[in-house]
């Protein structure tokens, strides 16, 4: 049979119907990825707040995001994070994470504690900028800030949730939380002071810990800078090391290890 005698090739109609995805479809897929994956969401959050600075991606950010998302899902109730300065700890834990939590459930209550009011306000303003952005609203359309409660320290949602910013010795009386985040409870210059560490520990046990609405299901994340081994953690609870059995520890030490090592410890996750 010659080429002339061969029957004509019938092209499938499906082949001609193929189309590249539209910008709208790509945008929806991107939003869905950010909605489901905290690492992807954190990258978008950084891009919105960094004023053009590129994100230097590293494995420790993914490790941090993983542990925090386990807190959101209720799989980790107590988490201690030790990281060196300038490693995006505050951005991930105090800005992006509360936005991610409230995006998934705008009825949640989150308290974020810092060592001073200036830092607390700065992180709250970053959070507000993030959740008010058009990109965030596209990712989480059900999360909206209430017009009746949008202050320097507190941002409420239209569904009754909130993010409350406070400082050590700040007022939390009468307030409850589903998640408490303690982000740098001491200045680096105060970490070596036994008296100041003990003061923070007492405030944590007597004032902050009772703020959990549900002592069984409520979660606490303690985020602190890594200091010299002589000092240990900047926030060393009176119940440590016994309480370590109830905490997950995520520690990244770039200074002594050079290239970085991650240590995670888990045990009984009962109430502290």
* Residues 6+ positions from 192 with CB-CB distance below 8 Å: 227, 231
Work out the pLDDT band at 183, boundaries 50, 70, 90: confident
User: pLDDT, tens digit, for every residue of 73-96?
Assistant: 998 888 888 777 778 888 999 999
- Band of pLDDT at residue 239, cut at 50, 70 and 90: very low
In a domain, 139, yes or no: yes
Judging by DSSP bridges, how do beta strands 179-183 and 109-114 pair with one another? parallel
Domain count, the chain: 1
Q: Where are the beta strands (DSSP E) in the chain?
A: 78-83, 109-114, 145-150, 154-157, 162-167, 179-183, 219-225, 248-252, 262-265
d(Cα 227, Cα 184) in Å, to the nearest integer?
12
pLDDT value at position 10?
61
pLDDT at residue 233 is higher than 70: no
For residue range 110-160, list pLDDT tens digits in order: 999 888 888 889 999 999 999 999 999 999 999 999 998 888 899 999 999
**Quick check: is 7 in a domain?**
no
- Most confident of the following: 48-62, 111-125, 130-144, 215-229: 130-144
In a domain, 9, yes or no: no
Q: Is residue 41 part of a domain?
A: no
How far, in Å, CA of 120 to CA of 114, rounded? 6
Does some domain include residue 2?
no
Residue 248 belongs to a domain with what CATH number? 3.40.50.300
For the cut 60, the answer to whether the pLDDT of residue 15 exceeds it is: no
Does 47 map to a domain?
A: no
106 assigned to some structural domain: yes
Looking at the chain, the whole-number percentage of residues with pLDDT higher than 90 is 32
Residue 105 domain boundaries:
59-265
Query: Is 17 a member of any domain?
Result: no
Residue 27 CA to residue 21 CA, distance in Å, equals: 10
């Amino acid at each position: 049979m010659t080429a002339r005698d061969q029957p004509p090739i019938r092209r499938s109609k499906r082949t001609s119907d193929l189309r590249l995805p539209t910008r709208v479809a790509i945008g929806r897929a991107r939003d869905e990825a950010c909605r489901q994956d905290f690492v992807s969401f954190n990258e978008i959050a950084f891009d919105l707040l960094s004023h053009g600075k590129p994100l230097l991606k590293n494995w420790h950010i993914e490790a941090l995001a993983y542990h925090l998302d386990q807190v959101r899902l209720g799989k980790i109730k107590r988490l201690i994070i030790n990281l060196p300065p300038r490693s995006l700890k505050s951005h991930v834990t105090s800005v992006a994470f509360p936005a991610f939590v409230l995006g998934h459930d705008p009825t949640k209550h989150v308290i974020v504690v810092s060592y001073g009011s200036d830092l607390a306000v700065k992180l709250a303003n970053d959070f507000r900028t993030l959740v008010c952005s058009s990109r965030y609203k596209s990712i989480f359309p059900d999360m909206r800030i209430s017009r009746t409660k949008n202050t320097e320290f507190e941002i409420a949602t239209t569904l009754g949730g909130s993010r409350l910013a406070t400082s050590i010795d700040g007022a939390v009386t009468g307030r409850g939380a589903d998640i408490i985040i303690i982000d740098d409870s001491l200045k680096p210059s105060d970490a070596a002071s036994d008296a100041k560490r003990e003061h923070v520990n007492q405030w944590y046990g007597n004032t902050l810990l009772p703020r959990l609405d549900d002592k069984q299901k409520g979660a606490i994340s303690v985020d602190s800078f890594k200091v010299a081994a002589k000092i240990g953690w900047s926030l060393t609870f009176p119940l440590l090391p016994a309480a370590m059995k109830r905490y997950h520890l995520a520690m990244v030490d770039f200074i002594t290890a050079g290239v970085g090592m991650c240590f995670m410890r888990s045990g009984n996750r009962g109430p502290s």
